[in-house]
């Protein structure tokens, strides 16, 4: 299960078909990042670069020149080097970039300053992702300034700079069949990891031990890294939306919220489940849990072609506001409370985001100022929550410190939607049954 060489070629072609005539696009790879003296953070390729090349090494630049007779797709990459490879691992080198990765031509990255100005010279448009990578911004400006310094000899610097994101990110928003298969697998592995955490959960164990169970399950299934730092928050830690210290002891009677998803073949899953540390929801926990679940189910029902991006979110707001009134946590008229945003004391984020190679994936949410329509091939999360701050003195004490989120990954299909993360239970009775087994 991979993205084929021909799919990478199709992606590049589609991008080049959208580029203006007489133009060039420059797409840099990610660089390694120091963690502490002589040690690096695990390398993660830049998503745009990976999307267009499948090339997983650091320190490369992809150059696309639509219509160029001597090759439209050029890659600058690290040269082969026996000593460096002995210490740090295999490199494809320019020859491998052509033979294995289907580039038209490739050059050592060390030669880029000598070659790229000549490729840019005479082009009217230059496309690149401005302002995301200081080093690359400076390189591009240096190449352009080198051309500008030669205008008296007839050199022609580019006149138009366009953010590549406008062209590329719209394409990335729509997932191909192969991408959807990989994302379903990422969802499946992540579901299994959440099930494993539920099985291993006991009062007296620690949040980081559940994090470990999740990471181990990811790796068992071929996903070495999480798509983002796993969140394991028990008790009131669940009310901190991005809590990832994961250091506290699991207390009998508390809930634990786990937000964790693996990265599989470059694609993210993003799942949240909330369950009782001792395997049994209390009355208050169950009441709020069922409310969040109803909001989530109502939102998923709204995921279908033709509906707009905000409809699932608006559904969660209606269900949560009505439910909080019924439970006595909000007081007043439902319509007015929604208008005033009263639910935001308990539900302070939106219902979801695009999902893909990046966990908060690329793609516009509005078009011409209006929420965009959902279309087949889009993948999004649906993740409402209720978080009752431990310091919220406006509600009876029994509710305070309860934090609940339920998050699934949902692909828009021709007729509705498909939940990619259905492999982990979310109905309270089913969670209790799994934990008791």
> Would you please indicate which residues are annotated as catalytic (active-site) residues?
38, 242, 259, 270, 349, 353, 360, 383, 387, 405, 407
For 116, residues 6+ apart whose C-beta sits below 8 A from its C-beta are: 26, 61, 63, 76, 143
For 294, residues 6+ apart whose C-beta sits below 8 A from its C-beta are: 319, 323
Q: Is 263 in the site for ligand GLY (CB under 6 A)?
A: no
Nearer to ligand GLY by C-beta: 68 or 353? 353
Please choose which of Mn ion, ligand GLY, none residue 190 contacts, taking the beta carbon within 5 to 8 angstroms, the exact cut-off set by kind.
none
Two tokens at 429?
């009775």
Under DSSP, is residue 415 helix (H, G, I), strand (E, B) or coil?
coil
In sign, the C-alpha dihedral spanning 328, 331, 332, 334 is negative
Please choose which of Mn ion, ligand GLY, none residue 228 contacts, taking the beta carbon within 5 to 8 angstroms, the exact cut-off set by kind.
ligand GLY
CA 182, distance to chain mean position in Å, is 14
CA-nearest of 92, 427, 105 to 293 is: 427
Q: Closest distance between ligand GLY and the C-beta of residue 406, in Å?
A: 11
Torsion of Cα atoms, 151 then 156 then 160 then 166, to 10°: -130
**Residues of span 333-362 touching ligand GLY by CB under 6 A:** 353, 359
Q: Closest distance between ligand GLY and the C-beta of residue 262, in Å?
A: 12
Q: Is 259 in the site for ligand GLY (CB under 6 A)?
A: yes
Nearer to Mn ion by C-beta: 54 or 187? 187
Q: Closest distance between ligand GLY and the C-beta of residue 271, in Å?
A: 9
Other CB atoms within 10 Å distance of the CB of residue 53:
25
Q: Give me the count of residues in the chain.
A: 437
Nearer to Mn ion by C-beta: 248 or 270? 270
- Report in angstroms the alpha-carbon separations of 399 from 288, 384, 386, 394: 9, 18, 11, 10
CA 300, distance to chain mean position in Å, is 19
Nearer to ligand GLY by C-beta: 248 or 407? 407
Q: Closest distance between ligand GLY and the C-beta of residue 360, in Å?
A: 6
Using CB positions, name the residue nearest to ligand GLY: 259
Q: Closest distance between ligand GLY and the C-beta of residue 289, in Å?
A: 18
Of the candidates 48, 121, 270, 361, which one interacts with ligand GLY according to CB under 6 A?
270
Q: Which residues bind Mn ion (CB under 5 A)?
A: 259, 270, 381, 407
Nearer to ligand GLY by C-beta: 248 or 358? 358
Nearer to ligand GLY by C-beta: 139 or 234? 234
Of the candidates 48, 57, 383, 408, which one interacts with ligand GLY according to CB under 6 A?
383
The Cα 265–Cα 30 span in angstroms is 16
Q: Closest distance between ligand GLY and the C-beta of residue 327, in Å?
A: 25
Phi/psi for 206 (5° steps) reads -115, 155
Please give the residue ranges that form the binding site for ligand GLY (CB under 6 A): 228, 259, 270, 353, 359, 383, 407
């Amino acid at each position: 299960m991979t993205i084929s060489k021909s799919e990478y070629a199709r992606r590049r072609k589609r991008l080049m078909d959208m580029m203006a005539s007489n133009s060039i696009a420059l797409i840099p790879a990610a660089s390694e990042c120091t963690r502490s003296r002589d040690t690096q953070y695990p390398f993660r390729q830049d998503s745009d670069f990976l999307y267009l090349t499948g090339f997983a090494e650091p320190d490369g630049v992809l150059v696309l020149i639509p219509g160029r007779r001597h090759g439209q797709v050029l890659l600058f990459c690290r040269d082969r080097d026996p000593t460096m490879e002995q210490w740090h691992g295999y490199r494809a080198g320019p020859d491998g970039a052509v033979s294995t990765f289907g580039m038209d031509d490739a050059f050592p990255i060390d030669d880029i300053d000598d070659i790229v100005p000549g490729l840019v010279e005479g082009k009217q448009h230059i496309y690149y992702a401005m302002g995301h990578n200081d080093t690359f911004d400076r390189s591009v400006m240096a190449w352009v300034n080198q051309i500008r310094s030669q205008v008296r000899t007839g050199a022609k610097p580019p006149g138009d700079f366009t953010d590549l994101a406008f062209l590329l990110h719209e394409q990335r928003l729509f997932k191909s069949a192969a991408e959807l298969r990989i994302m379903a697998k990422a969802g499946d592995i992540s579901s299994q990891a959440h099930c494993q955490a539920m099985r291993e959960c006991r009062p007296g164990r620690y949040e980081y031990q559940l994090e470990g169970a999740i990471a181990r399950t990811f790796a068992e299934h071929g996903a070495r890294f999480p798509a983002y730092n796993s969140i394991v928050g028990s008790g009131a830690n669940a009310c901190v939306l991005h809590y990832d210290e994961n250091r506290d002891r699991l207390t009998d009677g508390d809930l634990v919220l786990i937000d964790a998803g693996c990265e599989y073949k470059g694609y993210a899953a993003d799942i949240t489940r909330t369950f009782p540390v001792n395997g049994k929801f209390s009355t208050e926990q169950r009441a709020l849990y069922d409310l969040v679940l109803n909001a989530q189910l109502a939102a998923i029902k709204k995921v279908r072609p033709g509906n707009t991006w905000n409809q699932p979110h608006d559904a969660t707001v209606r269900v949560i506001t009505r439910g909080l009134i019924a439970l006595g946590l909000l007081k007043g008229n439902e319509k007015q409370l929604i208008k005033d945003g009263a639910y935001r004391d308990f539900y302070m984020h939106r219902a979801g985001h695009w999902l893909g190679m990046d966990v908060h994936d690329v793609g516009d949410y509005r078009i011409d100022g209006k929420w965009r329509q959902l279309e087949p091939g889009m993948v999004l999360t649906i993740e409402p929550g209720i978080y009752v701050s431990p310091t919220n003195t406006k509600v009876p004490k029994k509710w305070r410190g309860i934090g609940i989120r339920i998050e699934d990954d949902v692909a828009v299909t021709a007729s509705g939607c498909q939940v990619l993360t259905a492999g982990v239970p979310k109905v309270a009775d089913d969670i209790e049954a799994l934990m008791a087994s």
